């Protein structure tokens, strides 16, 4: 299919890096399933550096050479520009930090999965909330975000209540792609639009302590009891 139409698969693994995908035909790590996988090392990501950074994964030497060229002003040889490129090199200082953090990635993710499991156990019983589910065995979740759907229209009140109690939360994302000025279309994508009104992401990171999480869970449960 892809070959017939001359298409490539580019996989955005900025939130999923470190998770595994499994189907009858394919088994692999997120970022390695397409022709090119990409990730971000922005500080808040599962593997973050101390500024901006990212990486591209591919098994193709030709694509690797092309990406290296594009990231370095379109040059293969200094001051000889073959194509119009970008200045998108990874700073050495960021690479040094990532080299130290990389061996811990699986641990960071295990801790995220543990936190998500506790949220699921205690928030799954709250009627107004729909918790994330992993529907297939042998697939794993990297839980870059822990996002719930608030089904009863109380999302914004919940967010305000959390804020009053010193608990940060985020809406990822407040505007769907087709409503962004840059990509605006007249299409109606009802489910995306509804989700933007209903989702809320709760604190999750390897450093979140059990005590902090207990406090968050108790507050959310008390909000829905009253």
The distance of closest approach from Cβ of residue 180 to ligand PLP in the complex, given in angstroms and rounded to an integer, is: 14
The distance of closest approach from Cβ of residue 99 to ligand PLP in the complex, given in angstroms and rounded to an integer, is: 18
Q: Which is nearer to ligand PLP, 92 or 226 (CB)?
A: 92
Q: Which DSSP symbol is given to 50?
A: S
Q: Which is nearer to ligand PLP, 15 or 75 (CB)?
A: 15
Question: How much is the CA Rg of the chain, to the nearest whole Å?
Answer: 21
Q: Which is nearer to ligand PLP, 88 or 165 (CB)?
A: 88
Q: Which is nearer to ligand PLP, 7 or 177 (CB)?
A: 177
As a whole number of angstroms, the distance between CA 172 and CA 170 comes to 6
Interface residues with ligand PLP (CB under 6 A)? 12, 14-15, 40, 42, 52, 54
Residue 134 CA to chain centroid, in angstroms?
Answer: 15
As a whole number of angstroms, the distance between CA 33 and CA 217 comes to 36
Q: Which is nearer to ligand PLP, 42 or 223 (CB)?
A: 42
The distance of closest approach from Cβ of residue 26 to ligand PLP in the complex, given in angstroms and rounded to an integer, is: 20
Is 193 strand, coil or helix? Answer: helix
Query: Sign of the CA dihedral 76, 77, 78, 79?
Result: negative
The distance of closest approach from Cβ of residue 38 to ligand PLP in the complex, given in angstroms and rounded to an integer, is: 7
Query: Sign of the CA dihedral 105, 108, 110, 113?
Result: negative
Three-state SS for 166-191 is CCCCECCCCCCHHHCHHHCCCCCCHH
The distance of closest approach from Cβ of residue 4 to ligand PLP in the complex, given in angstroms and rounded to an integer, is: 28
């Amino acid at each position: 299919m892809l070959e017939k139409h001359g298409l490539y698969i580019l996989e955005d693994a900025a939130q999923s890096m470190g998770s595994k995908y499994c189907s009858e035909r394919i088994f692999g790590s997120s970022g390695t399933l397409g022709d090119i996988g990409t990730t971000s090392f922005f500080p808040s990501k599962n593997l973050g550096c101390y500024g901006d950074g990212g990486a591209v994964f591919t098994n193709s030497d030709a694509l690797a050479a092309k990406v290296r060229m594009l990231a370095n002003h379109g040059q293969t040889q200094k001051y000889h520009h073959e194509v119009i490129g970008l200045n998108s090199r990874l700073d050495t200082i960021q690479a040094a930090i990532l080299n130290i953090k990389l061996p811990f990635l699986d641990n960071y993710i295990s801790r995220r999965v543990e936190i998500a499991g506790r949220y699921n156990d205690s928030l799954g019983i709250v009627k107004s909330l729909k918790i994330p589910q992993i529907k297939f065995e042998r697939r794993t979740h990297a839980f870059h975000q822990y996002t719930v759907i608030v089904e009863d229209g109380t999302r914004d009140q919940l967010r305000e209540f959390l804020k009053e109690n010193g608990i940060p939360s985020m809406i990822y994302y407040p505007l769907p792609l087709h409503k962004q000025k840059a990509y605006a279309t007249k299409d109606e994508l009802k489910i995306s639009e509804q989700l933007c009104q209903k989702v809320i992401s709760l604190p999750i990171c390897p450093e979140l302590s059990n005590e902090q999480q207990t406090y968050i869970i108790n507050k959310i449960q008390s909000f829905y009891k009253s």
